[in-house]
Amino acid sequence: MTTNQKNDFKGLINNLSQVHDVLQSGAVRSVNQLLAIRNWVFGYCIVEYEQHGSDRARYGTRLLDEIAGKLKSKGMKGLDRRALNTCRLFYTTYQYFWRSLTAKLQTHNLGDKKIWRSLTAKSQSAGKSDVPIGLTVSAQLEHPARPTLSPRLLDGDKLHPELLLSRLTYTHFVELVRVSDPLQRLFYEVETVKNNWSVRELERAINTHLAFRTTMSTNKRAVIAKIKNLKPASAAEIIRDPVSLEFLGLAEKPEYTETDMERQIITHLQQFLIELGTGFCFEARQKRISFDNKHYRIDLVFYHRVLKCHVLIDLKIKEFDHADAGQMNLYLNYYKDNEMGRDDNPPVGIILCADKDDTLVEYATAGMDEHLFVSKYLVTLPKKKVLQAFIRREIEG
């Protein structure tokens, strides 16, 4: 084979590979989009039946179980009660997909089917579409892999259905419907599209309350960038800063002590664990450690099942002080020598304080245990207008 022939052959292989990659990617996107459409319509049918089915009372609370059983007998797999409930939630969360999905169903030979006629009637009765549809949308969607956004694709607090359905898989939507607040859900939609987040990256963002943490951070892009290039969970990824303690419902008092706050946290332990994130298991409060006749007490002790280590929390009702770091470093060294199990990783320490100076924190913790963190707590959440302004800036580029 001559050099020219080798080059031609190599070019042929490259062309075939490129065609395969492009068409396979298109096929995957098509399958994912059709799955999302199917499950949205499933949700619509279930909700409509629950509201208007003449014999719905016959099944009552067993409706989803009955549907799942019948579908399984018809050879449809993966549609148990939980999956059907997610379909229902998908529909109720994204009802404004009406106009786009009605048109898509017609192109898939459903134009003469009862479901299409039902959707068409529902869409017409709803009046004008919530989201503008026009040439701008088509232009935006010509390159599905390109994470571009435009203000024309946003109307009020909604992104255009075509944009979401072309960029996100149904599994993305499963994560998004977990977010009950529409504004925060819009934040996750925008960032998923803009940053090409995988489902795992989106899940990590939601589980760590990224929308909330972004509004409170001065370097918002840096906070968001940490979601990409995921590695196995590390302490730095899991420990949140700031931490919201709004759920404590603290009454006005002339003065609060760490004991007051600790008592409120224990009273609202479930909400505190949710705010900390997944994997935290409560172990002890006021854990005493002793050196000869001198005693110290660690406010709260948890065990993290993902990090496989103890997490020590020291509560401070004041601004962070350099002495706080030394105290926590003492606790960590004690736990390493006396409390670590054979399969445990080194303990993590969190100083939860009312405020902090980042420069002071940096100097105070330099050279100390790398698993020592200083987090600020908030007793009130940021105003929604901060998140709204950030989303607008993200969409406008």
The Cα 146–Cα 186 span in angstroms is 19
94: pLDDT strictly greater than 90: yes
Predicted local confidence at residue 313, as pLDDT: 86
Strands in 243-244's sheet, in edge-to-edge order, are 243-244, 372-378, 348-353, 309-315, 294-304, 280-291
Q: Where do the CATH 3.40.1350.10 domains begin and end in the chain?
A: 237-378
What tokens were used for 303?
């065990």
Which of 40 and 273 is assigned the larger pLDDT? 40
Over residues 343-362, the mean pLDDT reads: 82
Predicted local confidence at residue 55, as pLDDT: 62
- Contact indicator for 184, 387 with CB cutoff of 8 Å: yes
Amino acid letter at 228?
K
pLDDT band per the 50, 70, 90 thresholds, residue 91: very high
**How many angstroms separate the Cα of 213 from the Cα of each of 108, 119, 183, 262, 308?**
43, 39, 14, 23, 25
Residue (of 101, 120, 209, 207) closest to 164 by Cα position? 101
Q: Three-state SS for 94?
A: coil
Residues near 278 by Cβ (< 8 Å), separated by ≥ 6? 207, 306
Q: HSE on the CB side for 59, CA within 13 Å? A: 16
**How many angstroms separate the Cα of 269 from the Cα of each of 196, 264, 280?**
35, 8, 11
Which of 183 and 234 is assigned the larger pLDDT? 183
CATH topology of domain 237-378: Trna Endonuclease; Chain: A, domain 1 (3.40.1350)
Over residues 316-331, the mean pLDDT reads: 85
The Cα 335–Cα 346 span in angstroms is 8
- pLDDT, one tens digit per residue, over 55-90 is 666 666 688 888 888 888 888 888 888 889 999 999
Q: Three-state SS for 369?
A: coil
Predicted local confidence at residue 136, as pLDDT: 41
Predicted local confidence at residue 177, as pLDDT: 93
DSSP code for 110: I
Which of 142 and 20 is assigned the larger pLDDT? 20
Predicted local confidence at residue 88, as pLDDT: 92
Predicted local confidence at residue 188, as pLDDT: 92
Predicted local confidence at residue 376, as pLDDT: 61
Amino acid letter at 150?
S
Q: Which residue has the tokens 């906070």?
A: 223
DSSP code for 381: P
The Cα 63–Cα 235 span in angstroms is 43
Predicted local confidence at residue 307, as pLDDT: 81
- pLDDT, one tens digit per residue, over 200-224 is 888 888 877 777 767 766 666 666 7
Which of 96 and 239 is assigned the larger pLDDT? 96
- pLDDT, one tens digit per residue, over 147-201 is 456 666 666 678 888 888 888 999 999 999 988 888 889 999 998 998 888 888 8
Over residues 15-28, the mean pLDDT reads: 71
Residue (of 53, 133, 56, 74) closest to 101 by Cα position? 133
What tokens were used for 352?
């939860």
Over residues 122-129, the mean pLDDT reads: 52
